[in-house]
Amino acid sequence: MEKRDSGMAKQMKDASIPSNLSEGARRRGKDRTHLFSVAAGSAGEVKRQVRIAKAWRYIDDAAFGGVADWLDRTCAITWRLVNPRS
């Protein structure tokens, strides 16, 4: 992927999902929710970029399947962290 679209690859690498989740876990109140929300937004962004990469044939079906499943779970988890009572 890096060879075909270095900009997209850099964006995916720069997504700070784990960092924001880790920092949010150590915060309270609105700051905690904000960091979880940022992580959720980053996960959604990477999920869309992976789908675009597959559509443009930057990645094959095997690579897409594993990453897409992980991102689906990550998006679900981050959504529940932001919306715990929904």
Taking the model in full, what pTM does it have? 0.83
pLDDT digits over 38-70, tens only?
A: 999 999 999 999 999 999 999 999 989 989 999
Length of the chain: 86
Q: Percent of the chain having pLDDT more than 90?
A: 74
- The conformational region for residue 27 under phi > 0 = left, psi -120 to 50 = alpha, else beta, is beta
Domains, in order of start, for the chain: 6-82 (1.20.1440.60)
Burial of 77 (0-12, 13-18, 19+ CB in 10 A): middle
